[in-house]
Amino acid sequence: MAKGFFISKTLGIVGIALGVAALATIIALSVVYAQLKQQTDNAAPSPTTASTPGQTPGTPGTTTRVPGTSAIALGNTTTTVSSPPAPNTTVGPQEPWKKLRLPTSLKPENYTVSLQPVLTPGSGGLYLFHGNSSVRFMCLEPTDLILIHSKKLNYTLQEGFLVSLTGADGALAPSINATWLEAATEYLVVQLSSQLQASQSYELHSSFTGELADDLAGFYRSEYQEDGQTKVVATTQMQAADARKAFPCFDEPALKATFAVVLTHPPNHVALSNMPAQSVENVTINGEVWTRTTFEPTLKMSTYLLAFIVSQFEAVKADQNGTLIQIWGRPKAIREGQGGYALNVTGPILSFFERHYNTAYPLSKSDQVALPDFNAGAMENWGLVTYRENSLLFDPLYSSIGNKERVVTVIAHELAHQWFGNLVTLRWWNDLWLNEGFASYVEYLGADAAEPNWDIKDLMVTNDVYRVMAIDALASSHPLSFREEEIQTPAQISEVFDSIAYSKGASVLRMLSEFLTEDRFKRGLQSYLHTFAYGNTVYDNLWTHLQMAVSQDNFTLPGTIKQIMDRWTLQMGFPVVSVDTHSGNVTQKHFLLDPNSTVQRPSAFDYTWIVPVSWLTSDNQTGMYWLQNQTETNTDFATAAASGKWLICNINVTGYFRVNYDPENWGRLLDQLESNHSAIPILNRAQLIDDAFNLARAEYISTELALNTTRYLSQETDYLPWDTALNNLGYFKLMFDRSEVYGPMKRYVRKQVTPLFRHFQDLTSNWTIVPSGLMAQYNEIFTINTACSYGVPECQTVASGLFRRWREDPSNNPIPPNLRSSIYCNAIATGGEEAWDFGWEMFRNATVVSEADKLRAALACSQEPWILQRYLKYTLDPSKIRRQDATSTINSIARNVHGQSLVWDFVRANWKTLFSQYGGGSFSFSGLIQTVTQRFASEFELQQLEQFQRDNTDVGFGSGTRALEQALEKTKANMKWVAENQVAVLQWFQRESQ
């Protein structure tokens, strides 16, 4: 495929310069903008109303006030500012501008976008940016209508209209009859006097102003403090549907084009975009010197991948086989060396993916930027990847091994997208899972290439597979892939950025790679990328190219890739595979945590999967069995006749399913764990625990059997089984930490974890030596956290002693970075107001974001309700808690049993404020609803939740809509489980804690 189109000289000349007259109106416009913004904010229009086209068409040279806008004369320019849409009583719902998807009549070829962010507020207190944009597009079908996305932009009238239109390459452009803004569907509408002609190209020109707001979307403002001064950064976040907030554009992923970006900025700032700078020159505008940076045109790409930044950041840099790698951030952070680790791992990760994809990195540079304010974890903008600071910066004096692992895996995730997602892009957001699931899978491979001694790939089982199974086992789950018509609005698009897309997507792709073999999977992947470079695809295209690799090798499968994988992508959930080792009988059934729940979503496959079942016996026999029907028989599984012989299925948890056995096989496996647990692979020890607890909740086995899988843990020193066990016991804690069960449960966990605490106490010479290896360090952290939180006296003594020494000498923190999160939390939980105030002071003074994050989370560990209530109020004050951190801070308080009810009251009382502050498309609402309701297990709490749903129907729940449905389902399941199990659980913990 061609690499895209180049910018014509005409387009460049029209688009490059920012008008001097527009610049002269900055102060006046900011006042008007502020006034109108206040009017708009106070209007609260119905989301179903929209402006209507004008009754009298405009003619060239005549100023026409377009519906839904106000015309404001400023000097020699006329600017229109969007106002609330007027009620519509004349236009039917089938008008093109009422539809959420663009018509197929126009296809963009290239854009020229010139922007000037003003990094000081106007007299109205608003920060603004000014822009000119030209887009060249081809007409594919004759039409007299141009729809282009626009959101919160205010246009300078051109001969009475919001835009002007010219022909390209000799084409004649029709005159414009009317232009207007459709707020509900975020369109700028251009009604023409006659039709555009098929196969002809045209250019649409606009001049506009927007607010450089601090809303973390589109072209937005970030701030930080350095040397007592506030520094302002202009930056972007376009995904999923906010490029339209920076300039008018055809803002759908399939409408790829090239982009020529020009940024005009203060001379003491640096400008970055996707491509290298082509020229940098100083220009004088109204007697003031500015710098104009012109960038090379991009490769052909989607609008959501465009990025530009104006800042005073600094960078560290390196060359990797001709690719310039730069890590940008706050000058102080970069000078302190916090970008060094990211710089060291980026090169090896890029090299790995070049080999993995058999495709050279398509660009000449890879800029990675740490932003003080950023809504997501990171964003894969092509050639200019943006990150939260905690996902890119690393300081060994303050940052833990967890911070280090996050940096390397997030970098690997975003760099994986530079090919899979950027070079080849999914056609629409309904297939987002393939984009994000793939990157979530191969991030472990990329990180493994950078840190080969970590065994990091094993973490995927606990970080992704088991976590997402908890959601996917609900009747309110959803398939990986949606129909296009199901995903239309920006809020619906944001809602699909969930754990199903990321973690289930990663899990099923890992399963596919395992049963194909990695080599065969890579060859199919490489063919896919080579075929569709610079284009768009649907998920079936990948299946086709993987099938080609299978056919080339004459590799035998029970069906085609599509036949196998459609069952994993087009129906929700996963199976439980039940094995009877007496008869060899094997069955599968849709696994639901609540077996009495009703699945409303139909499945063309009747919730039956084609399941790759790998297996291992105690005498080291292994094999692979394909389960294709609901019930089958496999004689290899009839192992019960041999004395003491056990069977385990799903070796190393490569398959996305759970496994149940007959009671005798469970008994043999438990005996093996207690006699010599190392005979069972580490990941399968974790699997036995996780499967057992979830099978018990679904009533396949007894809760006592599940609890018995933890009895051997006093002998276990590996991280993954311990982490899995405590994650599952965490459910018991949520259900019972407000009841009499929790006392015996705490005693039991203390009993089991104390040998592990003493093991690491010896291994680390009383916590002074860092263990070698990622898993050992994680297990040390886990040990301290568990031992202190469950009240092991020696642990609490260590924690309080280290924290006391720090309070005595705040400039010299003696707590090892790996242990800080646990020790900060324990000390603040037990230290009262003085400990909290010290932690707050240290948080406010922290200059390393990973240290600030640890303190911010630990401050939520207080056991004083009034302190937690005050802390909740701080989350609504951006001067105390950054907007990007507000919901995660609220979540931290909700996880605290002393804070959960406070947070629930807070969320109910402030839902409208939270929703308006973060917007319905924010990724945060899903996690907030999940966390604040996770303890709900009573009829009263269910009634409160249902009332919350009714009370806020008018406001809505945005990206948290599905999470609310899941919370209702989980609460009902929790109620049932607690009623059926509380007595038996209490008796078990009382007995086993002796």
Residues with catalytic function: 414
Output the CA torsion sign for 15, 17, 18, 20. Answer: negative
Cβ neighbors of 104 (< 8 A, separation 6 or more) are: 140, 141
Backbone angles phi, psi at 55, to 5 degrees: -80, -30
Q: What is d(CA 124, CA 102) in angstroms, rounded to the nearest whole number?
A: 36
Residue 436: half-sphere exposure toward Cβ, Cα within 13 Å: 23
Count CB neighbours of 519 within 10 A: 10
CA 940/CA 933 separation, integer angstroms:
12
Angle at Cα 928 formed by Cα 924 and Cα 929, nearest 5°?
Answer: 120
> If DSSP codes are grouped into helix, strand and coil, which group holds residue 922?
coil
The secondary element (H helix, E strand) that includes residue 139 is: strand 128-139
Name the residue among 425, 431, 427 with its Cα closest to residue 533.
425
Query: Judging by DSSP bridges, how do beta strands 658-661 and 575-580 pair with one another?
Result: parallel
Question: Which SS3 state, helix, strand or coil, does residue 186 take?
Answer: coil
User: Two tokens at 903?
Assistant: 């947070």
254-to-189, 429, 897 alpha-carbon distances in Å: 20, 10, 47
The number of beta carbons lying within 10 Å of the beta carbon of residue 983 is 10
CA end-to-end span of the chain, whole Å? 70
Residue 421 dihedral angles phi and psi, to the nearest 5°: 130, -45
For the purposes of burial, counting CB atoms within 10 Å of the CB of 726, is it exposed (0-12), middle (13-18) or buried (19 or more)? buried
Longest dimension (CA), the chain: 95
Give the integer Cα–Cα distance in Å for 521 and 48.
Answer: 47
Residue 31 in contact with residue 125, Cβ under 8 Å? no
Distances (CA, A) of 463 to 47, 330, 448, 468: 38, 31, 15, 9
| Both structure tokens of 632 | 């089958």
Helices 518-532, 539-552: inter-axial angle, 10-degree rounding = 130
CA 101 to chain CA centroid, nearest Å: 24
Contact 914, 920 (CB under 8 A): no
Q: Using only the alpha carbons of the chain, give its radius of gyration.
A: 29
Please name every residue paired with 379 in a beta bridge, in sequence order, or none if there are none. Answer: 386
DSSP 27: H
**Rounded Cα–Cα distance for residues 216 and 234 (Å):** 10
For residues 886 and 874, what is the distance between their CA atoms, to the nearest angstrom? 9
Beta bridge partners of residue 233, listed in sequence order: 222
Is residue 113 within 8 Å of 131, Cβ to Cβ?
A: yes
Q: What's the CA gap between 142 and 130, in Å, rounded?
A: 33
CB 537 within 8 A of CB 424: yes
d(CA 864, CA 876): 20
Contacts (Cβ under 8 Å, ≥6 apart) of 554:
none
Q: Is the separation of the CB atoms in 112 and 262 below 8 Å?
A: yes
What is the Cα–Cα distance from 839 to 827, expressed in whole angstroms?
10
Q: 570 near 605, Cβ under 8 Å?
A: yes
Give me the amino acid identity at 455.
Answer: D
Report the distance separating Cα 785 and Cα 802, nearest Å: 14
